[in-house]
Structure 1
C-alpha cells in the first residue's frame, strides 16, 4: 500500500495535510540520500548536517500530523525554516543530489508553511 493510500484512510486528515505528509516523507528520504552522498567530504559538512536536520524534523512533522497532534503547527514552522536553510545550502553545490534535494525541500517548506495556520 502506498503512502497516499494509507493516508487516505485516516479520516481526520485534510487533502492539504495528506499532501504535506507525502512531501515531508519525500523530503526526509531525499535528505538522507543527499547527506549520505555528502559524507566524507569536509566541504559538504554543512550540507550533510542540514540534510540530517531536515530528515529528522520532516519525518517527525509527518508523524505528528498523522496523530493530529496539537504541536503539529509548531513543527510545521520549524520544518519550513529548516527546509529553507537546507535548500539554500544545497543550491550552493553542483552535485545532482544537492540540486534534487534543494527542489524537494523547497516544496516541503511551502507545504509546511501552509500547515502553520491549519
Structure 2
C-alpha cells in the first residue's frame, strides 16, 4: 500500500537534489529542472496527503512548500 508513496518520495528527493545542484551552478537548464521539481513535489505532496501517518502529513507539507519555492525562484 505504501510502495507507490515511497517510490514517489524517492523521486521527489532526487529531483530536489538535482534542482539544488543546477541552481547552485547557475545552469541554463535550472528553470526546466525547477519546473519538474515543482510538479513532482506537488504530486508527492498529494500522494502523502492520502495517508494518516504523521510523517506523511509532514512530508506533504514539506513537498508543497518546496513546490512553491521552486515556482517563486523561477519567477525571480
* TM-score, with structure 1 as normaliser: 0.62
Q: Deviations over 1:27-85 (max 9, x none)?
A: xxxxxxxxxxxxxxxx0011101100000000010011111111100000000000000
Residue 81 (structure 1) aligned with residue 39 (structure 2): yes
Q: How many residues align?
A: 76
- Structure 2 CA distance, aligned partners of 1:111 and 1:67? 18
In 1, Cα distance between equivalents of 2:13 and 2:32: 17
For 2:7 and 2:39, the matched residues in 1 are separated by 14
Provide the aligned C-alpha RMSD in A.
Answer: 0.9
Is the contact made by 1:84 and 1:109 (CA closer than 8 Å) also made in structure 2? yes
Matched, 1:45 2:3: yes
Distance in 1, matches of 2:72 and 2:31, equals 9
Are 2:74 and 1:116 equivalent residues in the alignment?
yes
Mark the structure with the bigger radius of gyration.
Answer: 1
* Alpha-carbon distance in structure 2 between the residues aligned to 1:117 and 1:74: 12
Q: Deviations over 1:1-32 (max 9, x none)?
A: xxxxxxxxxxxxxxxxxxxxxxxxxxxxxxxx
TM-score w.r.t. length of structure 2 = 0.95
- Aligned equivalents of 1:66 and 1:75: distance in 2? 12
1:57 matched residue in structure 2: 15
- Measured after TM superposition, the shift of residue 96 of structure 1 is 1.2
**Displaced runs of 4+ in structure 1, greater than 3 A?**
none
Q: After TM superposition, give the deviation of residue 97 of structure 1 in Å.
A: 1.1
